[in-house]
């Protein structure tokens, strides 16, 4: 079953009763309820949202991700379980003992999948993708020739027909949309990694000592083009994308529910991400040698 993503942009008091999320809207004094077991993610945007510790406890037991936003309404932090699997100790040991050659091999698979999905998206949009097709076949173990970077420059130069566009956190729109979409994707990935019994901080490639989600940043890479596709559609349908309006955010919040395909089987992205993170665990445990990534 696909879990629900809930978005709160107005002041509210959030609590729990009878395994239900109880939402009391401050302005209208209206009360609504949602079964906690149905919730996969909550995005808390308004600075005047209050929630109880009992609610956090129940959401945590359901491995729900709670995303808190800053004063600029952008995702800032993620509340997630310390441990999301009954075999956490053993699975963490497998992750810690993963050899460097294995991690380089897994990173090679990740970059091949990412570049392939970038090429597929450009193809769907009727744009040039020949070099990406070529580079996806030339990725070495650990991507030592940096095909990811070469592909990114080629890809971002072609996907949006916007003069002066450059992919960067603080660059012109639609970077604001991409940043928001990737933050949602990152939360989905971190949630799935924890549910599969792994520590999101220990990456197979990313190793920034200030980054608590290095592994999430690794594993979400092949999923990024799915976010790009959503953003591209928003850009085509909206004349003004300088501001992240409520309407645009609602369109970005469908990301966990969009259908993706892994090995010919379609499922919502949030479900597919769980398959991906479980396959990563099997690679760490020596059960498999392949990470299951979706194909766009």
Pairing of strands 39-44, 4-8: parallel
Same-domain status, 92 and 65: no
Residue whose pair of structure tokens reads 């597929």 in the numeric block: 120
Same-domain status, 67 and 125: no
User: What is the C-alpha to C-alpha distance for residues 42 and 272, in angstroms, rounded to an integer?
Assistant: 19
Is 292 a domain residue? no
Same-domain status, 17 and 123: no
Same-domain status, 68 and 123: no
Same-domain status, 191 and 56: no
Number of domains in the chain: 2
Give the pLDDT score at 1.
59
Residue 24: beta bridge partners? Answer: 13, 31
H or E stretch covering 184: helix 175-195
Give the pLDDT score at 86.
63
Is 99 a domain residue? yes
Give the pLDDT score at 85.
60
Is residue 245 within 8 A of residue 160, CB to CB? The reply is no
Same-domain status, 100 and 240: yes
Backbone angles phi, psi at 220, to 5 degrees: -80, -10
Same-domain status, 72 and 99: no
Q: Which residues line the annotated binding site for Mn(2+)?
A: 148, 206, 221
Name the residue range of residue 256's domain. Answer: 88-284
Same-domain status, 68 and 95: no
The residue out of 79, 103, 121 marking a domain boundary is 79
The CATH number assigned to the domain holding 259 equals: 1.20.120.920
Same-domain status, 109 and 207: yes
The CATH number assigned to the domain holding 16 equals: 3.100.10.20
pLDDT averaged per 10 residues in sequence order, the chain, 296 residues: 82 92 88 90 88 89 84 76 68 92 97 98 96 96 95 95 88 93 92 88 87 92 98 92 89 92 92 95 95 96
Is residue 193 within 8 A of residue 185, CB to CB? The reply is no
Give the pLDDT score at 218.
96
Residue whose pair of structure tokens reads 């609610």 in the numeric block: 55
CA distances to 116, 168, 249 from 178, rounded to whole Å, are 19, 9, 11
DSSP string for residues in 117-173: HHHHHHHHTT---HHHHHHHTSPPGGGTT-HHHHHHHHHHTTS---TT----TTSST
Same-domain status, 137 and 37: no
What sign results for the dihedral spanned by CA atoms 252, 253, 258, 262?
Answer: positive
Is 54 a domain residue? yes
Q: Treating both helix axes as pointing N-terminal to C-terminal, what angle do 224-237 and 100-124 enclose, rounded to 10 degrees?
A: 20
Is residue 60 within 8 A of residue 172, CB to CB? The reply is no
Is 294 a domain residue? no
Give the pLDDT score at 61.
83
Residue whose pair of structure tokens reads 């919040």 in the numeric block: 253
Is 223 a domain residue? yes
Same-domain status, 105 and 42: no
Is residue 11 within 8 A of residue 48, CB to CB? The reply is yes
Is 101 a domain residue? yes
Same-domain status, 17 and 151: no
Q: Which residues line the annotated binding site?
A: 148, 206, 221
Is 180 a domain residue? yes
């Amino acid at each position: 079953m696909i879990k629900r993503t809930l978005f709160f942009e107005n002041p509210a008091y959030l609590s729990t009763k009878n395994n239900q999320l109880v939402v009391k809207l401050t302005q209208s004094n209206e009360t609504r309820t949602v079964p906690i077991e149905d919730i996969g993610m909550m995005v808390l945007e308004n600075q005047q949202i209050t929630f109880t510790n009992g609610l956090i406890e129940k959401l945590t037991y359901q491995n729900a991700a709670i995303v808190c936003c800053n004063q600029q309404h952008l995702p800032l932090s993620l509340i997630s379980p310390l441990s999301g699997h009954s075999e956490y100790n053993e699975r963490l040991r497998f992750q810690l003992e993963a050899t460097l050659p294995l991690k380089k091999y897994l990173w090679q698979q990740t970059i091949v999948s990412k570049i392939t999905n970038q090429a597929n998206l450009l193809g769907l949009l009727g744009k040039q993708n020949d070099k990406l097709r070529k580079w996806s076949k030339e990725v070495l173990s650990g991507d030592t020739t940096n095909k990811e970077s070469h592909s990114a420059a080629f890809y971002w130069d072609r996907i949006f027909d916007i003069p002066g566009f450059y992919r960067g956190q603080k660059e012109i729109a639609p970077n604001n949309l991409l940043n928001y979409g990737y933050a949602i994707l990152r939360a989905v990935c971190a949630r799935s990694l924890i549910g599969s019994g792994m520590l999101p901080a220990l990456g197979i490639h990313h190793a920034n000592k200030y980054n608590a989600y290095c592994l999430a940043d690794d594993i979400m890479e092949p999923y990024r083009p799915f976010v790009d596709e959503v953003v591209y559609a928003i850009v085509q349908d909206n004349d003004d994308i300088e501001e992240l309006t409520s309407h645009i955010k609602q369109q970005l919040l469908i990301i966990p529910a969009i259908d993706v395909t892994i090995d010919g089987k379609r499922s919502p992205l949030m479900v597919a991400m769980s398959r991906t993170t479980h396959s990563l665990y099997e690679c760490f445990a020596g059960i498999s040698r392949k990470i299951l990534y979706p194909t766009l």
